[in-house]
Amino acid sequence: MSPAQDSATRSTAKEVLSIARKQRLQDFLFHRITQFFSLLVLVALLGIMGSLVYNAWPTFEAMGGRFFWHVEWDIVNEDFGAAIAVIGTLLSASIALLLAVPLAFGVAVFLTETCPPWLRRPLGTAIELLAAVPSIIYGMFGLFVFAPLFADYVQMPLKSLMSGMPLVGSLFGGATNGMGILAAGIVLAFMVLPFIAAVMRDVFEITPAILRESAYGLGCTTWEVVREVVLPYTQKGVVGGIMLGLGRALGETMAVTFVIGNANRLPTSVFSPGTSIASVLANEFGEAQGLHFSALFALGLLLFIITFVVLAAAKTLILRAEKAKGL
Q: How confident is the model at residue 324 (pLDDT cuts 50, 70, 90)?
A: low
| Residue 225, amino acid | V
Give dist(CA 137, CA 93) in Å, integer: 19
Q: How confident is the model at residue 99 (pLDDT cuts 50, 70, 90)?
A: very high
What is the Cβ-side half-sphere exposure of residue 184, based on CA atoms within 13 angstroms?
35
Give dist(CA 327, CA 324) in Å, integer: 8
Write the CA distances from 304 to 45, 176, 208, integer angstroms: 11, 33, 37
235-248 per-position pLDDT tens digit: 888 888 888 888 88
Domain ranges of the chain: 66-325
Q: What are phi and psi of 36, to 5 degrees?
A: -60, -45
Q: What secondary structure letter does DSSP report for 285? A: G
- Report the topology of domain 66-325: MetI-like fold (1.10.3720)
Q: How confident is the model at residue 100 (pLDDT cuts 50, 70, 90)?
A: very high
Give the mean model confidence (pLDDT) for residues 55-73: 88
Lowest mean pLDDT across 3-17, 40-54, 116-130: 3-17
**How does the average pLDDT of the chain come out, rounded?**
85
Give dist(CA 145, CA 90) in Å, integer: 25
